[in-house]
Amino acid sequence: MSVYKTLNLQSITAQLNIATPSAESTIQSDWANQNGITLTVKRDDLLHPVISGNKWRKLKYALKAASKAKVQHIVSFGGGFSNHLHALGYCCHHLGIQLTAIVRGDYSLKPTPMLLDLMTWQTNIQYVDRKIYQQRSELDYLQSLQQQYPGASIIPEGGSQLLAVQGVSEIIDELNDTYDYIVAPVASGGTLAGLSSAIGKKKAFSNCQILGIGVLKGEGYLEQLVDDLLEVDSSQANWQINHDFHFGGYAKSTNELRQFCQVFYQQTTIPIEPVYSGKLFWGLRALLKAGYFPQNSRILALHTGGLQGAR
């Protein structure tokens, strides 16, 4: 297709074969159904085999804006196993947009499976060291990228920006039921911000609480990311983040966590991985066993996809 052809959101969704809305499935297990508690999973991992879960939610309106503005080039950031860059690379390839991926670390001699996919999709990969990568949100560095790639649209790491909040918020409109708690993994803050924004506008969810499971070491930092996207004081928020289940940091795991992911799949037929969804359900199991949730609570766990990270 021509990069100058403007596509509306419906056309982009159809062209990328996104399967919305995603299903809600109740989990039956020895730990999920105690004290009258019901645990349901929102299967956003089934939206698309590549543009998985919250990555589509975060990118959809950015892609619409890029198409409307006839953007021919997008620049974004991520690590060597980034679900965000993987999803964005696929989208750009199929929508006829050039992608430049600013990647933390030099994988040129040993590309990861994710980076090999980006190469297949004709992504321009730019490896940078950690010092340069740390500047990814700084105005001077962003201006230098804008000069290097005139006319390019720059999407933040993880896709988390105001347009992402709008996309994620639509999850609430899809739900078939109301819930007392909605639980999701947290890394760049966009998903939690979108959920919080949406339930704040829905009378049926006025008593619902959003619980984030931090998947990296970031107490205070993650809260600030969500605050920045919501532009409100978190002391008045309907959300909080638990930092007890990051397993040492982003993409870090243990044999016990990896085994848990395998057993969870065997028991539920729902695939999870140790970077995001594995830590989410591990944390949920621990909190349920500890009696964190009141009796008869209705809990929704958001499966945010990212299964390619397990590679």
Residue range 200-227, pLDDT digits in tens = 899 999 999 999 999 999 999 999 999 9
Q: Confirm if 103 and 79 have CB atoms less than 8 A apart.
A: yes
Q: Is the per-residue pLDDT at 4 higher than 60?
A: no
Query: Is the predicted pLDDT of residue 9 greater than 50, yes or no?
Result: yes
Backbone angles phi, psi at 185, to 5 degrees: -70, 155
Q: What is the pLDDT of residues 62-73, one digit of tens each?
A: 999 999 999 999
In this predicted structure, which of 3-17, 132-146, 178-192 has the lowest mean pLDDT? Answer: 3-17
Report percent pLDDT > 90 for the chain: 89
Tell which wins on pLDDT, 8 or 74. Answer: 74
Q: Is 54 left (phi over 0), alpha (psi -120 to 50) or beta?
A: alpha
* Predicted confidence band of residue 1 (pLDDT cuts 50, 70, 90): very low
- pTM for the model stands at 0.93
Going by C-beta distance under 8 Å and a sequence separation of 6 or more, which residues neighbour residue 298? Answer: 37, 38, 40, 177, 178, 179, 180, 181
- Give the angle 267-54-136 at the CA atoms, nearest 5°: 130
Task: Show Cβ contacts of residue 309 under 8 Å, excluding neighbours closer than 6 positions.
Answer: 81, 83, 114, 251, 273, 275, 276
pLDDT in tens, 80-94: 999 999 999 999 999
Predicted pLDDT at 32: 83
